[in-house]
């Protein structure tokens, strides 16, 4: 039937069977149909090429959200995987204390960012091109937020955005605001995202914040308690921490404005001050931070809103995750959320806790079994491809 159909299509008659139709092209009188039997080598190459287009890592993923006030959460999360890339993100909506709209802002930006990043088929290898492409996507999301009907109602609504995009054995981090991305590798926790907050500036300058007390380590190893104003005046940005000189200058300008505009503030109050974000009423476009890291088998990552990190020290999070070694991503996400909530509920110091929504997306990189390609090729039924009659 197959040969007869081809003959009709090309206006000829099928040749009589010789038992060798599958050796070369299928022949019909007056036409030659190039339907050659693929060799085993060709099939192997096709299979390997297909695998190369796929993300070489799979990710064991979990997400959890704990709302400060049930039914009024302003955080949003993204978990997306299409085989070629994975997108994991947290958006922390802002504006709840001044009329609301944080949840709306986070949802609008989430939908816009996910829609456009999910369409990317190939990520540029050049860092400047990659940053330019992602910046365009974030600026588009910012425009959609500003042009939304709700922007007139909630003029001060906005959101953070921190995303980890896994592709081509790489993890690209995009961040605006103070939500954070971390990597756990060989028992060591590292913040891998930049952050738009004064607290981040202080930490990067060697200041320690614990239990509402700001201190610095002296040359002899002792701790010296200082005021926030003193720390702010001595804090300097490290240029290497920012993608461009423009970012460094913008951040230093913000620090100066905080010094003159706010004066002496409590650390608890300062934690509510973002120096960047995606905001409906902000005329200046948001500045995005982009970093790219190599992904290794066994790397663990999590993206979180500040409901966790404003109340828990990084070293305590690291210790807790090490105690959970071997547990699933779901267990680790749940335990981190419980720890964050527990620390929020403490009352040992008025500046020590900051009740807030907690959202965590936790994922572990697992290199796909390299032997699976060979096994699949062995199981491939070549006769099905050869079948024409």
pLDDT digits (tens, 9 = 90+) for 318-365: 999 999 999 999 999 999 999 988 888 764 444 555 678 899 999 999
pLDDT score recorded for residue 55: 80
Which positions ≥6 away from 21 have C-beta within 8 Å?
3, 388, 389
Q: What is the DSSP letter of 38?
A: P
Cα–Cα distance list, 98 to 140, 153, 184, 306 (Å): 25, 11, 36, 19
* Domain architecture of the chain: domains with CATH: 2-51+374-386 (no CATH), 59-188+281-367 (3.60.40.10), 198-273 (no CATH)
pLDDT score recorded for residue 23: 39
* Counts of helices then strands in the chain (DSSP H, E): 13, 17
pLDDT score recorded for residue 112: 97
pLDDT score recorded for residue 180: 95
pLDDT score recorded for residue 34: 39
**pLDDT tens, per residue, the chain with 389 residues:** 444 443 444 444 444 444 444 433 333 344 443 344 455 555 554 444 444 467 889 999 999 998 876 767 889 999 999 999 999 999 999 874 555 788 999 999 999 999 999 999 999 999 999 999 999 999 999 999 999 888 777 777 899 999 999 999 999 999 999 899 999 999 999 999 998 877 776 676 666 665 455 666 666 766 666 665 565 555 544 333 333 455 455 555 555 554 444 444 555 555 556 667 888 777 778 889 999 999 999 999 999 998 888 888 888 899 999 999 999 999 999 999 999 888 887 644 445 556 788 999 999 999 986 535 445 555 555 444 444 44
pLDDT score recorded for residue 290: 95
pLDDT score recorded for residue 124: 95
Please write down the long-range contacts of 68-73, taking CB distance under 8 Å and 24 or more positions apart: 68/307, 68/355, 68/356, 68/357, 72/96, 72/103, 73/103, 73/357, 73/359
Name the one residue in this structure whose structure tokens are 């007390």: 213
Predicted TM-score (pTM) of the model is 0.71
pLDDT score recorded for residue 127: 92
């Amino acid at each position: 039937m197959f040969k007869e159909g081809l003959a009709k299509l090309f206006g000829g008659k099928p040749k009589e069977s010789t038992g060798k139709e599958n050796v070369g092209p299928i022949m019909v009188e007056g036409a030659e149909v190039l339907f050659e039997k693929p060799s085993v080598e060709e099939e192997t190459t096709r299979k390997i090429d297909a695998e190369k287009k796929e993300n070489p890592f799979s990710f064991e993923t979990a997400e959890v959200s704990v709302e400060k006030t049930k039914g009024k959460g302003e955080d949003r999360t993204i978990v997306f995987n299409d085989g070629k890339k994975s997108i994991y993100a947290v958006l922390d909506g802002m504006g709840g204390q001044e009329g609301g709209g944080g949840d709306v802002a986070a949802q609008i930006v989430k939908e816009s960012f996910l829609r456009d990043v999910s369409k990317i088929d190939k990520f540029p290898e050049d860092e400047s091109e990659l940053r330019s492409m992602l910046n365009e996507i974030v600026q588009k999301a910012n425009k959609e937020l500003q042009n939304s009907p709700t922007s007139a109602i909630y003029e001060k609504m906005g959101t953070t955005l921190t995303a980890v995009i896994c592709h081509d054995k790489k993890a690209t981090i995009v961040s605006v605001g103070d939500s954070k991305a971390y990597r756990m590798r060989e028992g060591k926790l590292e913040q891998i995202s930049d952050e738009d907050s004064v607290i981040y500036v202080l930490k990067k300058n060697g200041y320690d914040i614990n239990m509402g007390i700001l201190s610095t380590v002296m040359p002899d190893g002792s701790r010296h308690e200082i005021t926030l104003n003193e720390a702010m005046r001595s804090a300097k940005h490290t240029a290497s921490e920012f993608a461009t000189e423009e970012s460094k200058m913008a951040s230093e300008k913000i620090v100066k404005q905080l010094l003159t505009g706010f004066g002496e503030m409590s650390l608890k109050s300062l934690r509510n001050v973002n120096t960047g974000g995606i905001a409906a009423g902000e005329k200046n476009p948001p500045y995005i931070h982009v970093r790219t890291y190599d992904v290794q088998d066994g790397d663990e990552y999590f993206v979180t809103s500040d409901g966790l990190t404003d109340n828990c020290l990084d070293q305590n999070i690291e210790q807790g995750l090490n105690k959970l070694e071997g547990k699933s991503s779901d267990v680790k996400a749940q335990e981190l959320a419980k720890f964050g909530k527990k620390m929020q509920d403490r009352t040992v110091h008025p500046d020590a806790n900051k009740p807030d929504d907690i959202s965590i997306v936790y994922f572990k990189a697992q290199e796909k079994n390299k032997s699976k390609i060979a096994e699949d090729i062995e199981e491939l039924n070549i006769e099905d491809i050869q079948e024409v009659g």
